[in-house]
Amino acid sequence: MQTRPACTDAQLDASARWRPALATAIRERDVTTTPTTVVRPARWFVTFLASALLVACGGGSRGDTYAKATDVQGQCCNHLEGAARDQCNSEIVRVDDTNVAQTSVNQDTYACITTHFQCDPTTGRPTQASAQKQLECIQDLDEGVAAE
């Protein structure tokens, strides 16, 4: 006569308890849609549209830095009131010819202004540290042109 080890019976009891759960999981797997069927292509499509819209609206790697820089400076002047605001806005350097504003030298110069501009709302002008960083950035551009 043979005796069975106790663990074999325990294993059979455990598998009997898990059978309904496994059967339910297998049954549901056949009818449940997976995220790859609809969601993943939809995400790619939305991502593509968003990136195309960003590039089309000038939000790409560069954009028009001249327009951005004059807007940032104008927004800083808007913290002031009355004649002080008008004077501040009149002191913003503007380029009348759009072809000149679009040259690479001007775009690089205004990129320095846009990148390093920090507004002092009490004066409507850049902070001292901000102005220093803008100057250093522009001087670095000049050194790069001189080296070429």
Residue 61's pLDDT band (boundaries 50, 70, 90)? very low
Output the CA torsion 74→79→82→88 (10° steps): -40
> If DSSP codes are grouped into helix, strand and coil, which group holds residue 4?
coil
Q: Which two tokens stand for residue 64?
A: 């028009």
The Cα–Cα gap between 119 and 124 comes to 7
| Residue 83 pLDDT > 50 | yes
Residues paired with residue 119 on neighbouring β-strands, in sequence order? 126
- Domain contains 118: yes
Percent of the chain with pLDDT over 70: 59
- Domain contains 113: yes
Q: What is the DSSP letter of 125?
A: E
| Domains: count for the chain | 1
Residue 90's domain comprises 65-147
- Domain contains 32: no
- Domain contains 58: no
The span from the first CA to the last CA of the chain, in angstroms, equals 98
Percent of the chain with pLDDT over 90: 13
The Cα–Cα gap between 40 and 84 comes to 54
> If DSSP codes are grouped into helix, strand and coil, which group holds residue 32?
coil
- Domain contains 111: yes
- Domain contains 39: no
Give this prediction's pTM: 0.53
Computed from CA positions of residues 25, 26, 30, 33, in that sequence, does the dihedral angle turn out positive or negative? positive
- Domain contains 50: no
Tokens 């501040």 correspond to what residue?
88
- Domain contains 123: yes
> Based on the number of CB atoms within 10 Å of its own CB, is 57 exposed (0-12), middle (13-18) or buried (19 or more)?
exposed
Residues paired with residue 120 on neighbouring β-strands, in sequence order? 125
